[in-house]
Structures are given as structure tokens and as C-alpha cells.
Structure 1
Amino acid sequence: MSTAAPSPQLLQRVAEKKQELEHLLVLRQLANHLETHFDGLSEKFDGLTQGNQAVSKVLGNWADVVRTIDLTENYASQELEEDQERSSLVRIPTA
């Protein structure tokens, strides 16, 4: 029984398939790297979203604080005007 040497076409085809496999392995590695990178970005975006929600709540609270200060100042100025009106009245005895 004699062993026939593989044909040059078959050897070329095997070499092409080996090169294709190497490229696929590199592609898989890059895809894994990309997946890891996007997972990290996703976590960062989640953190940014939570931070934005916190900032939104703080700004909403500041709107209430400013409104309360404005109401307090208005009330205080009204009280001051009323006190000034009361103190400026002079009572003159009529009898």
C-alpha cells in the first residue's frame, strides 16, 4: 500500500483554512474585547443616569427653597409695612 502525497491544491486549501481560522480567532478576541468595553460603558452610563437624577432632585429642591425664601421675604416686607403704618399713626385726644 503506497501513500499518495497530498495534492498541491489540497495543501493550499488547508493553508487557506488555517489562515481563515486564525482570522476568526482574532475576530473572536476583538469581539470579546469590544463586549467588555461596551459593558464598561454601560456601567458608566448607568452611573451618569443616577447622577443626573440626583442633580435633578437637588435642582427641584432649590426651586422650592427659592420659592419659600421669596414668600418669606414678601411676608416680612408686608409685616414691616404694617408695623411702619401702625407706628406712624398719631393719636390726638379729642376730649
Structure 2
Amino acid sequence: MSAFPTRSFSSHMRQPSLAAASTSTASTGQSTALAARVSEKKAELENLKELRNLSAALASQMEALEQKLATLSDGTEAIALVLSNWHNVLRAINMASAKLPKPSTDESSPVDDPAPLPQTLVRIPTEHAPTLQAHAEGALEEERD
């Protein structure tokens, strides 16, 4: 018989292999957890890149909207200015119409006579109109070239 028991020898031999197996299982579990965490972070990175791209697109759309609103605001101010002048225009027309002679109610006047028109408020010379139009068309052609 031998001085070393067989059982203890085999149990000693199995112990390191069990420890090595548990260490490799733990390292495999850790590497699996790390791989899962890495893939999770990659997915998060992709989502952040998509969010950045969408945010940039939204910012450019907001800038375009800002420009359109500025144009609209300028147009609104111009319209308000024109409308504020209508009061003066209507008052001038009323004053010109007040100077007209009142139509007589005599039956002796012919019925075919039209009602008198108000005085001319603005006179626009038309003799230079063809020259001005040709000049404007020439300027437009130069801008296109």
C-alpha cells in the first residue's frame, strides 16, 4: 500500500481544475457583461449621433423660420404704413369732392349728362412713359447678364 491515499490525491488534483473552471467561468461572465455594456454604449452613441443630426436639422429650420418671420414683420410694417396714409388720401378725396358743384335738380338739364367727377388729385405725365419703360427693361436685362 502506498503512503498517500488515492482519494486525497485525486481530490487535490480536482481542486485546482475546479478553481480554474470557476475562474474561467467568472472571466467569461465578465467578458460577456463587458461586451453587453460595450454594445449598449455603441447603441447609445448611435442614438446620440442621430439626436445631434436631428437637432442640427431643427436648428436650420428654425433659422429659416426666423428669416421668414423677419420678412413677414417687415411686410407688415410696410402695410401698416400704407394703411396709416389712407386716412390722408381719403380726406384729400373728400376735400376735392366737396369743391364740386352740386348737381341741379332742374328738369331742364339733360338726363344724359353724367355726374361731375372730382378734381384730378394727381397728374402723371404719360409722354415719357415709353422712354422710362425701355430704360427699366434695359436695366433688368443688364442684371440678368
Q: Mark the runs of 5 or more structure 2 residues left unpaired by the alignment.
A: 1-12, 102-145
Q: Whole-Å Cα distance in 1 between the matches of residues 46 and 68 of structure 2?
A: 33
Q: How many residues align?
A: 88
Q: Whole-Å Cα distance in 2 between the matches of residues 50 and 57 of structure 1?
A: 11
Amino acid at match of 2:64: A
Q: Mark the runs of 5 or more structure 1 residues left unpaired by the alignment.
A: none
The C-alpha deviation readout for 1:57-83, integer Å capped at 9, x for no partner, is: 111111111111111122233122112
Q: Report which structure shows greater RCO (CA 8 Å, sep ≥6).
A: 2
Amino acid at match of 2:96: R
Q: CA RMSD in A?
A: 1.9
In our comparison, the structure showing a higher alpha carbon Rg is 2
Partner of 2:43: 33
Higher mean displacement: 78-87 or 42-51: 78-87
TM (normalized to structure 1)? 0.80
Please state which structure has a larger fraction of its residues in helix. 1
Amino acid at match of 1:53: E
Amino acid at match of 1:56: E
Amino acid at match of 1:17: S
Q: Trace 1:1-95 onto structure 2 (pairs within 5 A).
A: 7=16, 8-89=18-99
User: Alignment identity in percent?
Assistant: 11
Partner of 2:129: none
TM (normalized to structure 2)? 0.55
Amino acid at match of 1:62: L
